[in-house]
Structure 1
Amino acid sequence: MSTNSSITREAALRIGLAALELKVTPRELTLAIAEKIDLPLTETKLATCSVELLREAMDGDGGICQMEKEDLKRAVRLLWGEGVSGSDLPALDAYLEGDMPGSIRLACASNTGEILDGHFGSCERFLIYQVSASESRLIGIRPTLDTETAEDKNVARANLIADCDVLYVQSIGGPAAAKVIRASVHPVKIPQTGPARASVARLQASLASPPPWLARVMGMEPPSLAQFASMIDEAEEEEA
């Protein structure tokens, strides 16, 4: 099998770095992965690699090496493109706690670059944005790899974003949503795949006059309830 014609330049870079981590040659690793993933090997296909897949490809009788779990995790992250110069993962914006008064924190489930295209239980990472009425910043990228071995994967994923106020996902089941809400995060389904920044911009535009659910997230009294309370106060004043 020819590997050169079956691999993109970006995928070759990721495999080369992962091979260094695993102390094997890039060709050996390419052939091992090709036994588990259909050719041609692309960035998107490499992003489906898991610790279990890599272990099956490399361990056991006839395997090209025996590696510890932490080594496999680091290799998988490289195959995903994390920390790889020129990968499709977006650059982070500078941020210090307290930089953006009145802002909220948003997690977006993602599998590809800066795209909102992830399901809660299977997305590869969460993109973390700090959002105010005047600006938004990408302040973190949190891989979900370590949640795969948790006793309750949904709880582990909810804990991973527990410092966020809102979660955007393509889909999420009822039991998983309940665990996200228990972590004080408000889940919102965004079924249409698209740039995460576009969804962030829509959220940002709504901060000035938030709908009731968002007002609660922001710790504000929903506008509709505030209006109703004002009417009650006026009525009480007239009775007095």
Structure 2
Amino acid sequence: MKVAFASRDGKRIDEHFGQCRTFSIFELNVEKYKWLESRSVYVEDEAEEHESRIARRVEAIGDCTLLFVCSIGSDAVKRLMKDGIMILKVEPESEVIPQMNRLLNLLRERPPLWLVKSMRRSGDWDE
């Protein structure tokens, strides 16, 4: 499954979803994870309408199953949930790699139901 992180530098989760211009994307399965790419959100106008701002970001991570953010508004939460993307809110400045390590350990040991459901939704869980 693909995991997105709202991050300026790809190393720390340090962005509010609605202002995030870059998402760091990882691939995760029960054996390993790997970084895939950074995805930029094109922002033409800083005064962009609220709905458009959310839609651009949802579109950028639409193939992801999980999203890590430090802050997110309720409208964005509703839209992401509707699109099947689970949101994990973490402390600002949390590091990306330790979060990926935690997910991998959860998958290997005793995955919680929310993680199993996410993996099934992405087609990466056969059990």
Query: Alignment RMSD, CA only?
Result: 1.9
**The structure with more strand, counted as a fraction of residues:** 2
Q: Who is 2:3 aligned against?
A: 106
Q: Who is 1:206 aligned against?
A: 106
> 2:6–2:16: 8 Å Cα contact kept in structure 1?
yes
Task: Pick from 12, 24, 30 the counterpart of residue 115 of structure 1.
Answer: 12
CA distance in 1, matches of 2:52, 2:66: 21
**Code of the aligned partner of 1:175:** D
- Classify 1:174/1:185 alpha carbon distance in 2 versus 1 (closer, same or farther; 3 Å): same
Task: Pick from 162, 179, 184 the counterpart of residue 62 of structure 2.
Answer: 162
- Classify 1:147/1:202 alpha carbon distance in 2 versus 1 (closer, same or farther; 3 Å): farther
Q: Who is 2:31 aligned against?
A: 134
- The structure with the larger Rg is 1
**Code of the aligned partner of 2:66:** V
Number of residue pairs the alignment of both structures matches: 117
> 1:155–1:180: 8 Å Cα contact kept in structure 2?
no
The share of aligned pairs that are identical, in percent, is 27
Deviation of 1:147 after TM superposition, in Å, equals 7.3
TM-score after normalising by structure 1: 0.45
Matches within 5 A, 1:1-240: 104-146=1-43, 149=48, 152-208=52-108, 209-219=110-120
Deviation of 1:194 after TM superposition, in Å, equals 2.5
List runs of 5+ in structure 2 lacking aligned partners: 122-127
Which whole-Å deviations, capped at 9, do the CAs of 1:175-213 have from their partners, x for residues lacking one?
A: 111111122111110124132111111111111321111
**Code of the aligned partner of 1:218:** M
- Classify 1:145/1:136 alpha carbon distance in 2 versus 1 (closer, same or farther; 3 Å): same
Deviation of 1:139 after TM superposition, in Å, equals 0.3
CA distance in 2, matches of 1:123, 1:168: 12
Q: Aligned with 2:19: secondary structure?
A: coil
List runs of 5+ in structure 1 lacking aligned partners: 1-103, 221-240
Q: Which has the higher contact order (CA 8 A, sep 6+)?
A: 2
- Classify 1:175/1:205 alpha carbon distance in 2 versus 1 (closer, same or farther; 3 Å): same
> 1:107–1:129: 8 Å Cα contact kept in structure 2?
yes
**Code of the aligned partner of 1:184:** G
Q: Aligned with 1:162: secondary structure?
A: coil
After TM superposition, what 4+ stretches of structure 1 lie above 4 angstroms from structure 2? 147-151
- Classify 1:147/1:120 alpha carbon distance in 2 versus 1 (closer, same or farther; 3 Å): farther
TM-score after normalising by structure 2: 0.82
> 2:12–2:93: 8 Å Cα contact kept in structure 1?
yes
**The structure with more helix, counted as a fraction of residues:** 1
- Classify 1:111/1:180 alpha carbon distance in 2 versus 1 (closer, same or farther; 3 Å): same
Q: Aligned with 1:152: secondary structure?
A: helix
